[in-house]
Amino acid sequence: MQILKDKIVELGKVMPGNILNVGSFLNQQVDIGLYNEIGKEFFKRFSDVLVSRILTIEASGIGIACITAQYFNVPVVFARKFKAKNVDSDLYSAQVTSYTHGVDYLVTVPRTFLNSCDNILLIDDFLANGCAIEGLVALTKIAGATLVGAGAVIEKGFQQGGKRLREMGIRLESLAIIDSMNPETGIKFRD
Task: Walk along the chain (191 residues) in steps of 10 and give the mean pLDDT of each run.
Answer: 95 88 90 97 98 93 96 96 67 80 84 95 94 94 97 96 96 97 90 82
pLDDT value for 191:
82
Cβ neighbour number for residue 17 with a 10 Å cutoff? 8
pLDDT value for 75:
98
pLDDT value for 19:
87
pLDDT value for 98:
73
Does residue 125 belong to any structural domain of this protein?
A: yes
pLDDT value for 17:
80
Does residue 151 belong to any structural domain of this protein?
A: yes
Full domain range(s) for residue 163:
31-182
Report d(CA 81, CA 28) in Å as an integer: 18
When divided into structural domains, the chain yields a total of 1
Does residue 25 belong to any structural domain of this protein?
A: no
> Hey, is 56 helix, strand or coil?
strand
Does residue 188 belong to any structural domain of this protein?
A: no
Ramachandran class of 102: left when φ > 0, alpha when ψ lies in -120 to 50, beta otherwise: left
Report d(CA 54, CA 38) in Å as an integer: 14
Q: Which residues pair with 96 in a beta bridge?
A: 105
pLDDT value for 81:
84
Q: What is the CATH number of the domain that holds 155?
A: 3.40.50.2020
Does residue 149 belong to any structural domain of this protein?
A: yes
Residue in 53, 141, 133, 137 with CA at minimum distance from that of residue 98? 133
Does residue 175 belong to any structural domain of this protein?
A: yes
Does residue 89 belong to any structural domain of this protein?
A: yes
Does residue 178 belong to any structural domain of this protein?
A: yes
